[in-house]
């Protein structure tokens, strides 16, 4: 394997959750080198993990937009039922609690939009990154 092929394999194995010790044996590369590569390629590793996690979630769960649609329909039914009820009825409070729980679940499903990027800082030979993060 060339150095680039070895590094690509390292990135893949780290994204799969392999330890440095296990990768050291697999690739026959020193642990300090692997740690250096881990710093240099931290964003590629994290992005690959995120991509694979998303693909797995897509296979196991409904598509995100489908989950949102189901939650929205359930919330709409509850809110419609609440509108029909006399507020003096006790079951209405339970409907409000269910609606609040559905809103919370919708917020969890949506999550926070989170972006980050790496910027090189000294020492340049190790490509150590600072992270810039922002939410929308």
The pTM (predicted TM-score) of the whole model is 0.48
When pLDDT is cut at 50, 70 and 90, the band that residue 120 belongs to is low
Cα separation, 97 vs 92, whole angstroms: 9
Neighbour tally for 4: CB within 10 Å: 8
User: What percentage of the chain's residues is helix, strand, coil (to nearest 5)?
Assistant: 70, 10, 20
Report the pLDDT value the prediction gives residue 29, as an integer from 0 to 100.
93
Report the pLDDT value the prediction gives residue 122, as an integer from 0 to 100.
47
State pLDDT tens for residues 88-103. 665 777 878 888 888 8
State pLDDT tens for residues 63-76. 777 878 888 898 88
- Is residue 78 pLDDT above 90, yes or no? no
Cα separation, 63 vs 53, whole angstroms: 13
67 vs 44, residue with greater confidence = 44
């Amino acid at each position: 394997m060339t150095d680039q092929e070895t590094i690509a394999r390292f990135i893949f194995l780290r994204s799969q959750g392999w330890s440095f010790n296990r990768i050291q044996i697999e690739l026959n590369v020193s642990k300090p080198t692997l740690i250096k590569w881990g710093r240099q390629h931290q964003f590629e590793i994290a992005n690959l993990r995120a991509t694979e996690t998303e693909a797995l979630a897509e296979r196991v769960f409904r598509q995100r937009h489908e989950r949102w649609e189901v939650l929205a329909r359930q919330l709409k039914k509850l809110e419609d039922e609440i509108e029909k009820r006399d507020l003096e009825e006790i079951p209405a409070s339970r409907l409000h609690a269910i609606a609040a729980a559905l809103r919370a679940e919708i917020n969890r499903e949506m999550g926070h939009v989170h972006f980050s990027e790496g910027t090189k800082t000294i020492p340049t030979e190790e490509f150590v990154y600072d992270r810039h993060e922002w939410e929308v």
